[in-house]
Amino acid sequence: MNDNELDRLIQDELEGLATPEAAERLRAILARDPRARARHGEMASVFRALREAKRESAPAEIREGVLAAIAAGHEAGASRLGRPAAVTSTRRRPTGLGWAVPFLAGAVVGGLVVALAYPHLGAGPGALGPSGRTGLPVTGTLPPPEAPVAPRQIARAVLPVEARPVGGALQLRFAAPPGARVMTIEFDAGTLAPLELRWGRPGRGRAAIEPGRVRLELTEGDLGVLVLAPLRAGEATIRVTTQGDAGTAQGTLHTTLPPRKE
Amino acid sequence: MTTEDDATLVRRSLDGDRDAFGELVLRYQDLLFNVALRMTNDREDARDATQSAFLKAWRKLGTFDRRNKFFSWLYRILVNETLNRVRRRRVQVPLDENMIASERSPDEQAEIAETGALVEAGLVRLRREHREVIVLRHFLGMSHGEIGGLLHLPEKTVKSRLYTARQALAQVLRRRGVTSA
């Protein structure tokens, strides 16, 4: 018996696939051949180590990140743009700047999901749709009128809005579009304050957080959530700028913040 | 794996039902994450690859041939995502030489081997097709037949590939002093 045949016999036995005859044959070989015993011992330790390298659970944020990105505009079966959800862009400016289309399409698809939430309700995620039954009115445009983008993309530009009774803050969910490098989120420092920033991949992206401004350095595929705490009731405007390989896209969100509930 | 259920969830997803797709994510995220983890030996890359694979699946769901198994299709997307990331990284993940330095006692080495850490590191030294079958068989617990179905290989080829893969892994571990022939 050559080494390969012996190895197969050993592996079959360790995997529990050896026939009784083959197992008996192996036992006989092992009894008389120290080299075969050594090979068996080695392979047994491989099997043991493989058993001990346990299967792991996927990080919880995988599902959350996927669903957030989907909510931000990805449409099942569509390769590029999502279907309109809550806030649609109303302005368009057809141009011949084809280079900007993939970037801006990505910016729209990647866009933001805005969630207005109330912690005392304590429920899990559940989009309430454009009417925002428990949320606050959020309106905005993305990209802005000046953005060089083809009409078709503009017509489908969306900024999905979800009202989720899960927290007492304004959540901006971002998904880095293709080619994106930097996303800047600006707001009135007297109205909103950065509370928390969670990356889809911790430690990879860089963030500069200061009053009224959060600057995120992105890599394509980054997902994250920026939580802004309302400091006072009233109107709030948030400007989002995405800079990338193909240029800059900007969008603005408007909302009315309620008095804080204690 | 309940193919019929998958088919229903895929159909609902194509109708725009995000919850249905969320169900598919829930169902397969552990499997995909483990495959990605063993292929990349990097948790962040594994998480990113898994996430990207699901997003690509969502976007390309319209191209999925519903006569096939959803997981098989999803798996191919994941493998491509994983390979892209590994290629992008451009460096082979090295074994942690410090972890297996010679000053460790045999007991310590055995302890490390028990945790499987070296096996995981050793896996990245294997050829992709070898790593793949090891992961599917030993980490996901798939039968030879299931692996064959997934990879479009005859069962005999799967078995043969597994033999070679384990031999290669044993060789890696032997070189590192974990096992001895």
Question: What is the average pLDDT across A167-172?
Answer: 62
pLDDT greater at residue B31 or residue A116: B31
Contact at CB, B29 and A77, closer than 8 angstroms? no
- What confidence score (pLDDT) does residue B106 get? 47
- What confidence score (pLDDT) does residue A179 get? 66
Query: Which candidate from B29, B59, B115 shows the least CB-CB separation from A62?
Result: B29
Contact at CB, B21 and A70, closer than 8 angstroms? yes
Q: Can you give the length of chain B in residues?
A: 181
Q: What is the pLDDT of residues A65-108, one digit of tens each?
A: 888 777 765 555 553 322 222 222 222 222 333 333 333 333 33
Does A57 reach chain B within 8 Å, measured CB to CB? yes
Residues 147-206 of A with CB under 8 A from B: 200-204
**What is the DSSP-derived secondary structure letter of residue A82?**
P
Enumerate the residues of chain A whose CB falls inside 8 A of the CB of residue B118: 49
How many contiguous H segments (helices) and E segments (strands) does chain A have? 6, 13
- What confidence score (pLDDT) does residue A72 get? 65
What's the gap in Å between the CA of A181 and the closest CA on chain B? 17
Candidates B34, B44, B54, B59, partner chain A, best to mutate (most A CBs within 10 A): B59
What's the gap in Å between the CA of A57 and the closest CA on chain B? 5
- ipTM of predicted assembly, 2 dp: 0.71
Query: Which candidate from A42, A47, A79 shows the least CB-CB separation from B181?
Result: A42
Question: What is the average pLDDT across A158-179?
Answer: 50
* pLDDT < 50 stretches in chain B: 1, 3, 90-106, 108-110, 112-113, 115
Nearest alpha carbon to residue A241 among A58, A134, A107, A56? A107
pLDDT(A140) > 90: no
Enumerate the residues of chain B whose CB falls inside 8 A of the CB of residue A46: 119, 166, 169-170, 173, 179
Buried b (16+ CB within 10 A) or exposed e, B39-76: bbbbeebbbbbbbbbbbbbbbebeebeeeebbbebbbe
pLDDT(A160) > 80: no
pLDDT greater at residue A247 or residue A41: A41
Q: Scanning the structure block, which residue is given the tokens 């990338």?
A: A244
How much is the mean pLDDT over chain A? 61
CA distances for B116 relative to B33, B38, B44, B111, B136, angstroms: 17, 12, 19, 9, 16
Contact at CB, B167 and A7, closer than 8 angstroms? yes
- Give domain limits for chain A: 3-52, 61-257
Q: What is the dihedral of CA A149, A154, A155, A157, to 10 degrees?
A: 150
Question: What is the average pLDDT across A141-165?
Answer: 31
Q: Using CA coordinates, name the residue in chain B closest to A82.
A: B59
- Map out the domains of chain B with their CATH numbers: 3-89 (1.10.1740.10), 102-175 (1.10.10.10)
pLDDT(A228) > 80: no
pLDDT(A139) > 70: no
What SS3 class is residue A257?
strand
Candidates A4, A48, A55, A79, partner chain B, best to mutate (most B CBs within 10 A): A55
Pick the CATH number of A61-257 from 3.40.1350, 3.40.50, 2.40.50, 2.60.40: 2.60.40
Enumerate the residues of chain B whose CB falls inside 8 A of the CB of residue A79: 59-60
- What confidence score (pLDDT) does residue A155 get? 22
Pick from A39-48, A66-75, A124-133: least confident: A124-133
Contact at CB, A76 and B61, closer than 8 angstroms? yes
Query: Which candidate from A42, A62, A71 shows the least CB-CB separation from B51?
Result: A62
Residue A44 token pair: 């047994």
Nearest alpha carbon to residue B54 among B29, B88, B17? B29
Pick from A2-16, A42-56, A224-238, B69-83: least confident: A224-238
Question: What is the average pLDDT across A126-144?
Answer: 33
- Confidence class for position A218, pLDDT limits 50, 70, 90: confident
- What confidence score (pLDDT) does residue A73 get? 59
Enumerate the residues of chain A whose CB falls inside 8 A of the CB of residue B121: none
Nearest alpha carbon to residue A178 among B18, B59, B82, B43? B59
- What confidence score (pLDDT) does residue B130 get? 92
Residues 140-159 of B with CB under 8 A from A: 140-141
CA distances for A15 relative to A12, A199, B48, B59, B130, angstroms: 5, 42, 33, 40, 17
Q: What is the pLDDT of residues B17-61, one digit of tens each?
A: 888 999 999 999 999 998 888 888 778 888 888 988 998 899 889
Q: Using CA coordinates, name the residue in chain B closest to A222.
A: B48
Contact at CB, B59 and A39, closer than 8 angstroms? no
Q: Scanning the structure block, which residue is given the tokens 């491509």?
A: B80
- What confidence score (pLDDT) does residue A101 get? 33
Contact at CB, B18 and A70, closer than 8 angstroms? yes
Q: What is the pLDDT of residues A181-215, one digit of tens each?
A: 777 888 888 888 777 777 665 445 677 888 888 88
Query: Which candidate from B59, B166, B179 shows the least CB-CB separation from A78?
Result: B59
- What confidence score (pLDDT) does residue A242 get? 73
Residue A119 token pair: 């912690």
Q: Using CA coordinates, name the residue in chain B closest to A202.
A: B44
Residue B46 token pair: 């594994």
Does B20 reach chain A within 8 Å, measured CB to CB? no
